A and B are shown apart, each in its own frame.
Chain A
C-alpha cells in the first residue's frame, strides 16, 4: 500500500506581501509585463497516514498562524484554472523547516508522519494567459534555483530523500601503472584539481606501498592537497624576472608578523583563527574567509555557510563568537539581462540571496553583524566575492590543542549528508556555464540553530576543561578535520557510526561530506559522559567515532573493514611544492624596494604606461579647476555612487545590537544613519572599560592600476578607520584575504607578488602584524567563446584593535556649530583608481598616480590617538573613496549640520577629490584647538591644516581664495547619498 502524501498550503490573509511585490517587479524587468499579481504561499508536503484530526491539527496549530494566515490541505492533485508554479527543495538539500515539522508533530502527538518536505506555490495573475514556455521561463529565472530546487507548472509531486540501499562500496583506483596522460585524466574525472606533479607523488607513494589507492584515500589526498586546504600557491616557489621567492606567505606575510614580534599576538597563522590578547583575563580571536564559488551558484546557501564556517573557526579556538563582519563584491545591480553571461545569476539576485544568507545565519546564531562593505564592479558579475568574518572572545590560555593517545574522536552537531561534496576542490576550480549544474552537490545550506547549540555546548565544555583539542569540519569535512587533528598523532575511526541524514552514502561521501555545523573534539574517555550531559540539555548530537592512536597513521574503517590507511608523513608532508612563474610589473618607486621607514614619501606612478584591464576610458583633458556647478554635481554623483552611497538598507537587515556590546554602531550620528568608520564593541562579560575595534580596507579599483599600491592603501585604510573611532594604533592586528584570478598566469601571479610586497612593507611601516589570512584563487569565468574573465585582483584587509576606554570612542558626525575642522595629512594628485574618475571626472594620463604609503602616517595616528585620549576630538572621519569632498559631506550628513571650509590651495580638484592615503578630518572645540595642535610637534605640525568650521547653516560650503567652489544644502547631500538605500528593497 502506498503511503499518501498531502500538500498543506498556507497563505497570508491580507494580500500585502512585500516579497511578492518584489518578485512582481523583477518579473516586469524580465519583460513579463502582462503579470499583474503574484501570490506566494508556503507549501508543506507530508507523507504519512494522517487522520482528519491530524490534518486539522497540523494546519491550524503547526503550519498556520490562525490569525494572520489561512491554511488548507489536499492530497496532491492538479490545480485548477490558475497559472501556478510550485517549487520545492531537492531531496538531500538541508531543509531545517522540514526537520522541525517532525519535532512539532511529535509535540502534537501526531506519530504517523513518514517524510516531510517544503516548497512554495506561486499563483500568477496576468492580463494575457501565459503559455507553457513563458511559465518555464519565469520558474527558471525567478522562482527556482535549479541548483537546490525543482519546480513544476501546476502542482508538484514532492520528492523525498530516500534511501538507495545501504552502500558500503569502496572502489580501488588502479593508478600505479598509469602514464602521465592517464594520471591527468583520472585527476579530471574525479574533479580533483591536482596537477601532474602531485598525481605523480601519489603514484610514487602507492608504488612504494605496493598497492592501489581506494576511492576514499584518493579523495582524502585530493582534499588535503587542495588549494583551499593547503594554500599551495602561497607556499609555492615563484620565479619572477629578477628573483626567486620561496613562498609568499613566509616571505612577506608571516615574515612581517615575525619581525614585528608583538608580545600581544597569541596565535598567528597556526590556529583556525588569529588570536590576540584583550586584557589580563581574556583574549580575542578573528577569522575572515571567503565563500565565493558557492555564493555564485546558490547565493543564499553560499553566504549562509560562509558565515557558518567562520563561526565554527572561532569555536575551533574555544572562543564564543561575539561579532560578525561581511564584505561583498557584486556586479552592477542595473546590469541588463542581455549582458548577463550564460549560466550566471543576475547580480541583483546574487546580492539579495547573499544578504539574506548572512542575515539568516548571523541573526539566528545571535551574533551581531557590525562591520562591512559592499563594492560593485563589472568584474564581479560572474564571480561575486563574499567575505565573512567572525570575532571570538575566550578566557586566556584556555584553548587546548593537543590530542592525546587514547582520546576519543568525538563529533558534535549536525548529521551528515551529501552536502558540499568536494567543496574544497570545487573552490579551487574555474567557473563556467556548466558550473551550476555540475557543482550542484557542492552547495551547502546551513542550519544556524544547530550552530547555536554548538556555541552553547562548546563554551560550557571549554569552561569545564573537558577536551584536549577541537577543530571544525569545514572544507573536506571529517577527512580534513580528523586528518588535521591527527596529523601529529594518528587516529582510527569507524564511519559506520556517523549519523546520516539519509542512507545510501558511500563511505568516501561520509568522510568527505561538508555537511555544516559539525565540530570534532579530542575528549579523554573519562569526560565523554560529562560532555554527553551538556549535549543532552541543548539537544546537540554527540558521536564517538574512534580514538587518537599515537601511531602516526590515519585509519578509517567501514563496518570494521579498513578502507583508508595513510601515513601522516605522506599526507601532510609529501605534497610537492609548486613552482610557478610570475611577471611582476617593475616598480618605479623607491618606496616599494627600499626600507620604507627611511624612504621619503613619493607617489608611485601607477600602471607604468600599461592600460589596466578594467580601467574606464580616460579623457585627455589636463587636470583643471572645475566650476562650482561642476564640483557640486560631481560631489552629488560621488555620494550617489553605489560604492559610496548609504548601505542602510542592508545594514538594518542585520541584528547589530544582540549581546548588548555595540558601542559604536555601524549607523551613527544625529539621526542614526551616518556611516561609521569602524565598530567599537564592549564585551559584556569583560571588566573595566576596554573595548574592541573592528574595521576594514578594500579598494580593488586601485588594484587595477597597481596591486602594490592597493595593498598599502587598504592596509592604511583599515588602520585609519580603526584609529578614527579610537583604536590604539599600537594595538591593531590585521587579516589578509586575497581574491585573485588563476595564479598559473604569470601576470596574475605577478600582481599577487606585488600585493604581497605591499603587505609586507605596510605592515612593517605601521608595525601592525598579520594574525590570520586566507586566499581564494581561480576566481575566473570562462565564457562560451572560451575567453577567461578574471575578477579584479581584490585584497581585503580586516583590522581588529583595542580601545583602552570605550567612553573615549569617537564618531564621524559633526557635533556642534562653531567647532573647528582640521585636515590631518598630505594630499597629492593621486587619481589612479579614484572614484572621481569613475564618476566622470577627467584627469590627463600624465597625472595618473596611485596612492602610496605615507611615511608620516604611523606617527600621525599615534599623535591623533593621544589627542583622542585627552578627549579633544569631537568627531573624526577618514578620507577614502571620493576624497575630502565626500568625507566632509558624510560628516555633514551624519551630524545634520553644515560646514564652511576655505581651501588655501592652488589645485582645488586635487584638494577636493584626490584619494591620497594617510588623511583624516577632525572636529575640535575652539577652546581646545591650541592643546590639540600641541599634540603634533615638530614636522608633524605641518600635517595639520585648519580648514574651517562646523555651521548651524544646513549647507556644505567650500571656498577657494574666497571663490565658492562647492555649495550644497545638507538635505541635498542626504538625499543623494541615501537614494539607493531608500529605493531598493533587498
Chain B
C-alpha cells in the first residue's frame, strides 16, 4: 500500500497542487484536503502517514503570515496533530506552512504556544522571489537525513526571517541537531547572513528547522518547485541536478 500524504488546504493556500505533485512524483499518494473537510469528518487524519502544510497566503496573511492558520491548528486540531507527530508520522511545512507550524508552536517543540521563535519580515522589507541553494545539515531530521547533495529551489516570501526570542537558544537547536537546512553561498558554504544567498536575513542562514524527534520539518524555500529538470532556471545552459524532489523521495522511502 502506498504512503498517503494529506495536503492541508486553508483559505488562501496556493502551493497545495505543487506540493501534492512532488509527493506523487516521490511515490506517495497525495490528497488535497480543506481543513473544513477534516473538521466536518469527511476526511480522517488516521488515513494519512504524511502531513504537508503547503505554501500560500492563508487568510491573506492578515495579522501576520500564517497567524490565523496557526490558530486553526491550535484550536481545531491540537489533539490530532499531537497524535500524528508523536506517532512518528512525517510533517512538512513549506513557506506559509512553516510559518503556521512555528506560530502555532508545533515547531520547534510541540508546545502549541509560540514563545521561542518566529518568522518575521525579510530584512529587505519586501517579498522576494529568487532561487537559493540549501544545505542539508541535520541527521536527526528524517527529511534531510542522508541527503548528500545541496538542493536548489526558489523562495517566494515576504516574512521568512527566522529569529529567536533568545539568541542563546540557537545553541540548543544546534545541539539538538534541529537546524535542518541552511542557505548556501556560491561556494556551497553556509551563507550566514549574506544577501542574496540568504535572501531574508534569517539568523545564521537558517532555512529550515525540525523538531527534536526529527519527523517535523519546516522550511521557507520551495523544494516542490524543483522536481523536473526544466524548472531549473539555467537548464538552457545545460545545468541540472540538485532537485528538491530528493527531499520528498527521502521521506517517502522511509515510510514505504
Per-position binary interface string of chain B over residues 182-218, scored 1 when its CB falls under 8 Å from any chain A CB and 0 otherwise:
0000000000000000000000000000000000000
Question: For residue A107, which residues in chain B have a CB less than 8 angstroms away from its CB?
Answer: 68, 71-72, 75
Per-position binary interface string of chain A over residues 104-117, scored 1 when its CB falls under 8 Å from any chain B CB and 0 otherwise:
10011000000000
- Choose one: A63, A359, A539, A672; the contact of B127 (CB below 8 Å): A359
Within 658-679 of A, Cβ neighbours of B (below 8 Å) are at: 658-660, 662-665, 667-670, 672
Per-position binary interface string of chain B over residues 59-81, scored 1 when its CB falls under 8 Å from any chain A CB and 0 otherwise:
11111100110011001000000
Question: For residue B249, which residues in chain A have a CB less than 8 angstroms away from its CB?
Answer: none
Residue of A nearest to B128 (CB): A652
A657 touches B17 (CB 8 A): no
- Choose one: B57, B116, B129, B230; the contact of A656 (CB below 8 Å): B129
Least CB distance from A862 to B in Å reads: 22
Judged by a CB distance under 8 angstroms, whether A188 is at the interface is no
Judged by a CB distance under 8 angstroms, whether B121 is at the interface is yes
Question: For residue A668, which residues in chain B have a CB less than 8 angstroms away from its CB?
Answer: 233-234, 236
In the bound assembly, the distance between CA atoms of A17 and B17 in angstroms comes to 34
B34 touches A537 (CB 8 A): yes
Least CB distance from A557 to B in Å reads: 33
A809 touches B236 (CB 8 A): yes
Question: For residue B154, which residues in chain A have a CB less than 8 angstroms away from its CB?
Answer: 657
A18 touches B120 (CB 8 A): no
Question: For residue A62, which residues in chain B have a CB less than 8 angstroms away from its CB?
Answer: 63, 67, 71
B59 touches A449 (CB 8 A): yes
Least CB distance from B236 to A in Å reads: 4
Judged by a CB distance under 8 angstroms, whether B118 is at the interface is yes
Residue of A nearest to B12 (CB): A449
Judged by a CB distance under 8 angstroms, whether A653 is at the interface is yes
Residue of B nearest to A21 (CB): B125
Judged by a CB distance under 8 angstroms, whether B176 is at the interface is no
Residue of B nearest to A811 (CB): B236
- Choose one: A449, A660, A813; the contact of B60 (CB below 8 Å): A449
Judged by a CB distance under 8 angstroms, whether A90 is at the interface is no
B156 touches A657 (CB 8 A): yes
- Choose one: B12, B67, B224; the contact of A660 (CB below 8 Å): B224
A655 touches B156 (CB 8 A): yes
By secondary structure, the B interface counts as mixed
In the bound assembly, the distance between CA atoms of A68 and B160 in angstroms comes to 12
Question: For residue B37, which residues in chain A have a CB less than 8 angstroms away from its CB?
Answer: 537
In the bound assembly, the distance between CA atoms of A372 and B9 in angstroms comes to 30
Judged by a CB distance under 8 angstroms, whether B227 is at the interface is yes
B129 touches A67 (CB 8 A): no
Least CB distance from B56 to A in Å reads: 6
In the bound assembly, the distance between CA atoms of A672 and B103 in angstroms comes to 33
Known contacts: A66-B114, A67-B116. The answer to whether A660 contacts B34 by CB under 8 A is no
B11 touches A536 (CB 8 A): no
A807 touches B230 (CB 8 A): yes
Question: For residue B4, which residues in chain A have a CB less than 8 angstroms away from its CB?
Answer: none
Q: How large is the interface on B (under 10, 10 to 19, 20 to 34, 35 or more residues)?
A: 35 or more
Within 118-171 of B, Cβ neighbours of A (below 8 Å) are at: 118, 120-121, 123-131, 154, 156, 163-165
B34 touches A538 (CB 8 A): yes
In the bound assembly, the distance between CA atoms of A338 and B136 in angstroms comes to 55
In the bound assembly, the distance between CA atoms of A539 and B67 in angstroms comes to 18
A103 touches B68 (CB 8 A): yes
B15 touches A664 (CB 8 A): no
B63 touches A63 (CB 8 A): yes
Count A-B contacts at CB 8 Å. 171
Question: For residue B11, which residues in chain A have a CB less than 8 angstroms away from its CB?
Answer: 449, 452-453, 538-539
Question: For residue A720, which residues in chain B have a CB less than 8 angstroms away from its CB?
Answer: none
Judged by a CB distance under 8 angstroms, whether B115 is at the interface is yes
In the bound assembly, the distance between CA atoms of A100 and B10 in angstroms comes to 13
Known contacts: A67-B117, A663-B231. The answer to whether A813 contacts B237 by CB under 8 A is yes
Residue of A nearest to B118 (CB): A67
A67 touches B164 (CB 8 A): yes
Judged by a CB distance under 8 angstroms, whether B36 is at the interface is yes
Contact stretch, chosen from A190-198, A361-369, A469-477, A522-530: A361-369
Residue of A nearest to B199 (CB): A652
Q: How large is the interface on A (under 10, 10 to 19, 20 to 34, 35 or more residues)?
A: 35 or more
Judged by a CB distance under 8 angstroms, whether B21 is at the interface is yes
Judged by a CB distance under 8 angstroms, whether B14 is at the interface is yes
Question: For residue B165, which residues in chain A have a CB less than 8 angstroms away from its CB?
Answer: 66-67
Judged by a CB distance under 8 angstroms, whether A447 is at the interface is yes
Judged by a CB distance under 8 angstroms, whether B222 is at the interface is yes
Question: For residue B225, which residues in chain A have a CB less than 8 angstroms away from its CB?
Answer: 657-658, 660
Judged by a CB distance under 8 angstroms, whether B109 is at the interface is no
Question: For residue A363, which residues in chain B have a CB less than 8 angstroms away from its CB?
Answer: 57, 127, 156
Least CB distance from A61 to B in Å reads: 7
B71 touches A108 (CB 8 A): yes
Per-position binary interface string of chain A over residues 840-852, scored 1 when its CB falls under 8 Å from any chain B CB and 0 otherwise:
0000000000000
Question: For residue B21, which residues in chain A have a CB less than 8 angstroms away from its CB?
Answer: 660, 684
A670 touches B64 (CB 8 A): no
Question: For residue B127, which residues in chain A have a CB less than 8 angstroms away from its CB?
Answer: 359, 363, 653, 655
Question: For residue B67, which residues in chain A have a CB less than 8 angstroms away from its CB?
Answer: 62, 65, 104
Judged by a CB distance under 8 angstroms, whether A101 is at the interface is yes
Interface centre among A18, A366, A654, A663 (most CB of B within 10 A): A366
Question: For residue B156, which residues in chain A have a CB less than 8 angstroms away from its CB?
Answer: 363, 655, 657-658
Question: For residue A101, which residues in chain B have a CB less than 8 angstroms away from its CB?
Answer: 62-63
Question: For residue A657, which residues in chain B have a CB less than 8 angstroms away from its CB?
Answer: 129, 154, 156, 222, 225, 231
Judged by a CB distance under 8 angstroms, whether A952 is at the interface is no
Question: For residue A658, which residues in chain B have a CB less than 8 angstroms away from its CB?
Answer: 14-15, 18, 55, 156, 225
Known contacts: A66-B114, A96-B62, A672-B234. The answer to whether A536 contacts B130 by CB under 8 A is no
- Choose one: A65, A97, A452; the contact of B62 (CB below 8 Å): A97
Question: For residue A815, which residues in chain B have a CB less than 8 angstroms away from its CB?
Answer: 236-238
Least CB distance from B120 to A in Å reads: 4
Judged by a CB distance under 8 angstroms, whether A970 is at the interface is no
Residue of A nearest to B70 (CB): A61
Residue of B nearest to A664 (CB): B236
Judged by a CB distance under 8 angstroms, whether A301 is at the interface is no
B237 touches A670 (CB 8 A): yes
B123 touches A16 (CB 8 A): yes
Judged by a CB distance under 8 angstroms, whether A19 is at the interface is yes
Least CB distance from B25 to A in Å reads: 11
B120 touches A65 (CB 8 A): yes
Judged by a CB distance under 8 angstroms, whether A826 is at the interface is no
Within 1-49 of A, Cβ neighbours of B (below 8 Å) are at: 12, 16-19, 21-22
Known contacts: A655-B129, A986-B126. The answer to whether A682 contacts B120 by CB under 8 A is no
In the bound assembly, the distance between CA atoms of A539 and B237 in angstroms comes to 45
Judged by a CB distance under 8 angstroms, whether A448 is at the interface is yes
Question: For residue B121, which residues in chain A have a CB less than 8 angstroms away from its CB?
Answer: 12, 68
Judged by a CB distance under 8 angstroms, whether A482 is at the interface is no
Least CB distance from A250 to B in Å reads: 41
A672 touches B130 (CB 8 A): yes
In the bound assembly, the distance between CA atoms of A668 and B131 in angstroms comes to 11
Question: For residue A103, which residues in chain B have a CB less than 8 angstroms away from its CB?
Answer: 59, 68
Known contacts: A655-B129, A684-B17, A810-B236. The answer to whether A663 contacts B230 by CB under 8 A is yes
Question: For residue A807, which residues in chain B have a CB less than 8 angstroms away from its CB?
Answer: 230
Least CB distance from B190 to A in Å reads: 21
A366 touches B230 (CB 8 A): no
A364 touches B126 (CB 8 A): no
Question: For residue B55, which residues in chain A have a CB less than 8 angstroms away from its CB?
Answer: 658
Least CB distance from A669 to B in Å reads: 8
Question: For residue A437, which residues in chain B have a CB less than 8 angstroms away from its CB?
Answer: none
Q: Which 4 A-B pairs have the closest CB atoms?
A: A366-B14, A18-B125, A67-B118, A68-B120
Return 18 A-B CB contacts under 8 Å, by A number: A21-B125, A66-B165, A67-B115, A67-B164, A103-B59, A104-B63, A448-B12, A652-B128, A652-B129, A653-B127, A654-B129, A657-B156, A658-B156, A658-B225, A668-B236, A670-B234, A806-B230, A985-B126
